[in-house]
Amino acid sequence: MITTQPWTSFLIDTDSQQLLSETVLPAYINTCRWFAGKARQQAGFSFSTILPLPASESIFYLAIIEARYSDGEPEQYLLPLSFITDASVLSNVPEKGWLTEVTFGNATGQLVDAIYDADFREALYHNLLANRIEGDISFQKGKGLLASDTVLSRVLPVDSSNSALVFNEMYFMKLYRKLFSLTNPEVEMVAFLTETGGFEAIPAYAGSFTWQQPGQADVTLGMMQRMVANDKDSWAMTGDYLNDFLYAVPNRVFMVKEDVFEKVALLGQRTAEMHLALYSKTDDPAFQSEPFTDEYRTFLAGRFTDLLERRYDLLVNNYGRLDEQAQRLAWVFMEAKEMIDDFVADFKTRELGSCRTRIHGDYHLGQVLATQNDYVIIDFEGEPESTIAERKIKHSPLKDVAGMIRSYHYAVSAKLFNASETEGIAPDKLQVVSDRWYKLIRDTYLDAYLGTFGSPHPMFYDNGEINYLLLIYLLEKAVYELGYEISYRPTWVKIPLKGIVDVIREIEKLQPGGHHRQMASAPLHLV
Ligand SMILES: Nc1ncnc2c1ncn2[C@@H]1O[C@H](COP(=O)(O)OP(=O)(O)O)[C@@H](O)[C@H]1O
Ligand SMILES: O=P(O)(O)O[C@H]1O[C@H](CO)[C@@H](O[C@H]2O[C@H](CO)[C@@H](O)[C@H](O)[C@H]2O)[C@H](O)[C@H]1O
């Protein structure tokens, strides 16, 4: 691409912007892991805003790209741009960050995603440190950020929905890609937990930067936290524990080491401490706890009913692709439709005395980093499928608890049903040992969680309500997961289906004549 205007004029160089939008962005953006619209009917890309970020020897642009679709609303993505003319600098940029070769005025070079340019990363760091306002970009330094003369930075090689940068191996910065016209819930959550809740099992907040426009809501562009030295996340760590279990199963030995129970209980305790911190007294209405209102119950029941409809359709359309075991579970789910509908309708009118607070919202083993003897909880962005406004709605913290319980169920199922060690074992037998591990671990986690609150606590009205809410949230999560697995990992579909069937069995017990009536005072034994 050749243009007569220099790079410093890119902000007003609409011809170059248009040329790039038409010829470069569609191909480039579709290669990026963070772009969520790959499977949608795309109708083109354009530069909706360009925010200049001057640095000592160059200028960078934070481009806000609009992705348009013929099947729905447009989305906004952040793409920081750097123009590199020096071959030695370019040699540090991986090819996946190259957009195109271009001549701006009399300089020829490569247009790249600026996260791969060390000067850009350094500019972000210094602007944060200085609490600088640069045009419409406002940098806010958090308490945890300390000055440093030298800045060594790198891009963390995690391919996810955002980009991660590391500074001096001390700070972790998340650069948000998909943008929303409200402060990202993650920034609010991390700031509240650190500064009001005094919660220590998250990386300390070190700052954030936002795009501010007069009369409009701030748009969060990035957030910095302390970097956590961790070996792995808890999904990987649980997988390690399960290896011991897996090797014992073919020898007809049921083995769980005591330190597994200790680790699981510690996670239950940390989860409760996070929820207690979110319950802290505050004047900020965004974080004050609230009762279960008609409005909330109507919202949740409505959202759940929509989700169920979509999932039944998806299941019917994909039924033929499922294996025999998954098909059997799918039948149970489909036959229970009326009962589930009644269960959700009952929720809509049921008086509940428990509280709702802000919660993590997307809580599973992959969101908990395992440090040497403890845990650090990350990724407070909320449910990826929800709008930003929905992600800020208060729920019972048992929704997070249900997320983690589902994750333990996933961990054991994924391990036992996909391992060569268990190939000779009949699926029904495998299901029995898998359930046995899951129930032990679930109860260990729950006991430690509830034990940390002491009894009674205003967050939960009574054990009956705890069981009831857990059932609602477990069902909602497993139904959500069913869609995720059909779309991304069809061989794992039976995992959420089994989770759904387990909850169905519990709902059956709540029916007149079901034996739960006699067990109403036996809490926390869901299966
Ligand atoms: N403070 C931190 N310190 C070290 N590594 C981190 C930190 N926060 C996140 N990570 C790493 O980055 C990965 C992506 O972070 P996450 O918050 O889950 O981003 P995303 O929203 O893109 O999924 C995590 O799985 C973890 O490996
Ligand atoms: O972490 P994300 O926000 O990207 O969440 C999505 O992907 C998750 C998988 O990576 C998926 O989680 C499901 O699978 C996990 C194991 O891979 C398991 O631990 C979770 O319990 C289960 O929900 C998540 O549902 C999806 O939104």
The pLDDT score that the predictor gives to residue 420 is 86
For residues 172 and 88, membership in a common domain is answered with no
Question: Do 254 and 303 belong to one domain?
Answer: yes
pLDDT at 524: 36
Residues 7 and 131 in one domain: no
- In angstroms, what CA-CA distances link 463 with 279, 330, 337, 467, 471? 19, 30, 27, 6, 12
| Nearest ligand 2 atom, CA 481 | 25
What global pTM score does this model have?
Answer: 0.87
Nearest ligand by distance to the CA of 361? 2
pLDDT over 80 (residue 159):
no
Q: Are 66 and 7 in a shared domain? A: yes
- Nearest Cα to 164, choosing from 56, 25, 33? 33
- Which residues line the pocket of ligand 1, CB cutoff 6 A? 156, 158, 160-162, 164, 172, 174, 203, 225, 227-228, 233, 378-379, 381
pLDDT at residue 229 in the model: 85
Residue with tokens 């289906």: 497
- Taking the CA of residue 362 as reference, the ligand 2 atom at the shortest distance is 3
How would you write 237-286 as a 3-class SS string? Answer: HHHHHHHHHHHHHHHCCCCCCHHHHHHHHHHHHHHHHHHHHHCCCCCCCC
Query: Cα 177–193–145 angle (5° rounding)?
Result: 65
For the stretch 236-265, pLDDT in tens is 999 999 999 999 999 999 999 999 999 999
pLDDT (0 to 100) of residue 514? 61
Question: Where does a domain end: 226, 252, 287?
Answer: 226
Is residue 482 a part of any domain in this protein? yes
Confirm whether 294 is domain-assigned.
yes
Mutate to test the pocket of ligand 2, among 176, 364, 400, 489 (most ligand atoms within 8 A of CB): 364
pLDDT of 231 over the 80 cut = no
pLDDT tens-digit profile of 257-297? 999 999 999 999 999 999 999 999 999 999 999 999 999 99
Q: Tell me the CA–centroid distance for residue 450 and ligand 2, in Å.
A: 24
Question: Which residue type occupies 61?
Answer: Y
pLDDT digits (tens, 9 = 90+) for 354-401: 999 999 999 999 999 999 899 999 999 998 778 888 999 999 999 999
379 alpha carbon – ligand 1 mean position (Å): 7
Is residue 128 assigned to a domain? yes
Given a cut of 50, whether residue 190 has pLDDT beyond it is: yes
Spacing, Cα 330 to ligand 2 middle (Å): 20
Query: pLDDT at position 525, please?
Result: 35
Task: Examine residue 522 and state whether it is found in any structural domain, yes or no.
Answer: no
Task: Specify the CATH number for the domain of residue 415.
Answer: 3.90.1200.10
Q: Which of 116, 150, 174 is the last residue of a domain?
A: 116
Rounded distance from Cα 364 to ligand 2 centre (Å): 7
Reply yes or no: is the peptide bond before residue 185 cis, omega within 30 of 0: no
From the list 62, 70, 73, 26, the residue with the least C-alpha distance to 46 is 26
* Interval 92-124: pLDDT, tens: 999 999 999 999 999 999 999 999 999 999 999
Which atom of ligand 1 lies closest to the CA of 229? 4
* CA-atom Rg of the chain in angstroms: 25
Q: State how far the Cα of 471 lies from the Cα of 430, in Å rounded to an integer.
A: 24
> Which residue owns the Cα nearest ligand 2 atom 27?
384
Which position has the higher pLDDT, 345 or 520? Answer: 345
Q: Which pLDDT belongs to residue 56?
A: 84
Percent of the chain residues past pLDDT 90, beyond the cut: 76
Query: Does one domain contain both 400 and 481?
Result: yes
Ligand nearest to the CA of 379: 1
On whether both 250 and 263 belong to a single domain, the answer is yes
For ligand 2, atom 25, the nearest C-alpha belongs to 481
Q: Output the six-digit token pair for 302.
A: 């409505």
Q: Is 56 exposed, middle or buried (0-12, 13-18, 19+ CB in 10 A)?
A: exposed
Which residue out of 235, 378, 383 has the highest number of ligand 1 atoms within 8 Å of its CB and is therefore the one to mutate?
A: 378
* Phi, psi angle pair for 52, to nearest 5°: -75, 145
User: Which amino acid, one-letter code, is at 252?
Assistant: R
Q: Which of 134-138, 178-182, 410-414 has the lowest mean pLDDT?
A: 178-182
Pocket of ligand 2 (CB under 6 A): 235, 362, 364-366, 384, 406-407, 410, 481, 484
Pocket test residue of 32, 168, 170, 172 for ligand 1, highest count of atoms within 8 A of CB: 172
* pLDDT confidence band for 3 (50 / 70 / 90): confident
Q: Side chain identity at 73, as an amino acid letter?
A: E
ipTM value: 0.96
With respect to residue 517, please indicate whether it lies within any of the assigned structural domains. no
Mean pLDDT of the chain: 91
Q: What's the pLDDT band for 33 if we cut at 50, 70, 90?
A: confident
Q: Specify whether 266 is located in the same domain as 369.
A: yes
Q: How far is CA 291 from CA 301, 317, 355, 362, 428, in A?
A: 16, 39, 5, 22, 43
Distance 172 CA to ligand 1 centre (A): 8
Ligand 2 atom 20: residue of nearest CA: 407
Work out how many domains the chain is built from and give that number.
3
State the ligand closest to the CA atom of 369: 1
Specify the residue with its C-alpha closest to ligand 1, atom 1.
Answer: 227
252, 433 contact by CB (below 8 A): no
467 and 326 co-located in one domain: yes
Question: Which of residues 194, 226, 258 is at a domain's end?
Answer: 226
Identify the pLDDT of residue 195.
84
By the 10 Å C-beta count (0-12 exposed, 13-18 middle, 19+ buried), 479 is classed as buried
Query: Same domain for 340 and 409?
Result: yes
Q: What is the pLDDT of residue 385?
A: 76
Task: Reply yes or no on whether the pLDDT at 521 is more than 70.
Answer: no
Rounded mean pLDDT, 493-505: 95
Pocket test for ligand 1, best of 35, 154, 363, 369 (most atoms within 8 A of CB): 369
pLDDT at 522: 32
Question: Considering the domain boundaries, does residue 335 fall inside one?
Answer: yes
Q: How far is the CA of 309 from the centre of ligand 2 (A)?
A: 21
Q: Give the residue numbers spanning the domain of 80.
A: 2-116
The reply to whether 278 and 209 lie within a common domain is no
pLDDT surpassing 80 at residue 180 = yes
Q: How far is the CA of 16 from the centre of ligand 2 (A)?
A: 40
Residue 44: phi and psi, rounded to 5, are 115, 165
CB neighbour list of residue 477: distance below 8 Å, 6 or more residues apart: 399, 402, 403, 406, 499
Which carries the bigger pLDDT value, residue 159 or residue 474?
Answer: 474
* 162 alpha carbon – ligand 1 mean position (Å): 9
Residue 38: inside a domain, yes or no?
A: yes
Residue 512 has pLDDT above 80, yes or no: no
Task: Categorize the per-residue pLDDT at 490 as very low, low, confident or very high, splitting at 50, 70 and 90.
Answer: confident
Residue of minimum CA distance from atom 17 in ligand 1: 379
Residue 95 shares a structural domain with residue 175:
no
* Mutation to probe ligand 1, out of 145, 158, 224, 228 (largest number of atoms < 8 A from CB): 158
Which atom of ligand 2 lies nearest, measured to the CA of 409?
21
Indicate whether 80 and 204 sit together in one domain. Answer: no
* CATH (domain of 186): 3.30.200
Residue 520: per-residue pLDDT? 33
- The closest ligand to the CA of 158 turns out to be 1
Instruction: Please check whether residue 313 lies inside any domain of the structure.
Output: yes
Q: Is the pLDDT of residue 516 over 50?
A: no
pLDDT confidence tier of residue 230, bands split at 50, 70 and 90 = confident
Rounded to the nearest whole angstrom, what is the distance from the C-alpha of residue 378 to the centroid of ligand 1?
7
